[in-house]
């Protein structure tokens, strides 16, 4: 089903799986898909009339659902029938618009077209209409639409950093290029295969509840290269009692479908 989906669109599904697990749902419902969509692609806020889009939508969804006991990541959580319908419509919408791949906007339009779903009801209450979004996308020149990839590095980085809190190893490795390397805080180098096998262990410090980050600086921003420094607080190992901050330098390149992490290097920030 996901062959034509961009990496960003695929990560929407990963985030939706996390949302379903967090709310104790045995199926990935349209509301989880919507939350995953807003978590992955913040640029979608341009279609909404107000500010603080994700908190507003989340609060409205939480009014309408009953939270269950959190489900472990290891438990399979399938797509609901409504969700499968949304993803089918997203593919059809992409084809109708003449777009080569399925993007996040196509998923947003598809959610709105399944009008009986909870997610659609919440969006419609916010004033969104599928026709107006689709019409505007159709009017945008293709080069402009495709140029989103040149500004999407920052969104990919945000998706990865946020994902360190909630994604499993398989989902985290999807952010990396096949020839990627990670240099951990001890200076050890890990290649793609090694990162893939130990992703959850390697990134465990950043999944801690009190771990937080800021993007310190964007050192390079071109159509094919993006470099940023990220400062992490409270990303601690037991052996690092004097180190409470890490600096993560991340290099992203534009791949065939989307931006990918080529190199991530972690350096402990020491204080005397």
pTM above 0.75, yes or no: no
* Greatest Cα-to-Cα distance within the chain, rounded to the nearest angstrom: 61
**Where do the CATH 1.10.1780.10 domains begin and end in the chain?**
7-146
CA distance 102 to 61: 25
Contact by Cβ (8 Å): 242, 270: yes
* Cα-only R_g, the chain: 19
Looking at every residue in the chain, the average pLDDT score rounds to 85
- E-strand ranges in the chain read 176-183, 189-191, 212-221, 225-233, 245-254, 259-269
| Topology of the domain covering 150-269 | Nuclear Transport Factor 2; Chain: A, (3.10.450)
pLDDT tens string 140-198: 655 444 444 445 788 788 889 988 988 888 889 999 999 999 999 889 999 999 999 99
* Domain made up of 7-146: CATH architecture: Orthogonal Bundle (1.10)
Which of 133, 138, 90, 80 minimizes the C-alpha distance to 111? 90
CA distance 10 to 224: 21
Contact by Cβ (8 Å): 120, 34: no
**Where do the CATH 3.10.450.50 domains begin and end in the chain?**
150-269
Q: What confidence score (pLDDT) does residue 179 get?
A: 95
CA distance 9 to 112: 16
């Amino acid at each position: 089903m996901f062959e034509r989906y961009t990496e960003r669109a695929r990560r929407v599904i990963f985030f939706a799986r996390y949302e379903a697990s967090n709310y104790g749902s045995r199926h990935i419902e349209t509301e989880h898909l919507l939350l995953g969509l807003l978590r992955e692609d913040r640029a979608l806020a341009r279609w909404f009339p107000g500010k603080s889009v994700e908190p507003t939508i989340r609060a409205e969804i939480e009014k309408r659902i009953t939270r269950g006991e959190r489900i472990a990541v290891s438990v399979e959580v399938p797509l609901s029938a409504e969700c499968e319908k949304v993803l089918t419509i997203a593919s059809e919408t992409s084809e109708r618009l003449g777009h080569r791949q399925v993007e996040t906007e196509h998923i947003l339009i598809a959610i709105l077209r399944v009008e009986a779903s909870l997610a659609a009801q919440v969006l419609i209450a916010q004033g969104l209409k599928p026709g107006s979004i689709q019409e505007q996308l159709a009017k945008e020149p293709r080069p402009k639409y495709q140029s989103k990839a040149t500004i999407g590095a920052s969104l990919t980085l945000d998706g990865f950093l946020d994902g360190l809190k909630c994604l499993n190893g398989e989902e985290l490795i999807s952010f990396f290029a096949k020839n990627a390397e990670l240099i951990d805080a001890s200076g050890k180098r890990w290649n793609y295969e090694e990162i893939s096998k130990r992703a959850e262990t390697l990134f465990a410090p950043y999944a801690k509840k009190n771990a937080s980050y800021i993007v310190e600086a964007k050192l390079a921003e071109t159509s094919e290269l993006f470099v940023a420094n990220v400062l992490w607080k409270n990303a601690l190992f037991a052996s690092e009692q004097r180190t409470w901050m890490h600096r993560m330098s991340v290099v992203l390149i534009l791949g065939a479908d989307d931006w990918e992490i080529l190199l991530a290097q972690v350096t402990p920030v020491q204080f005397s």
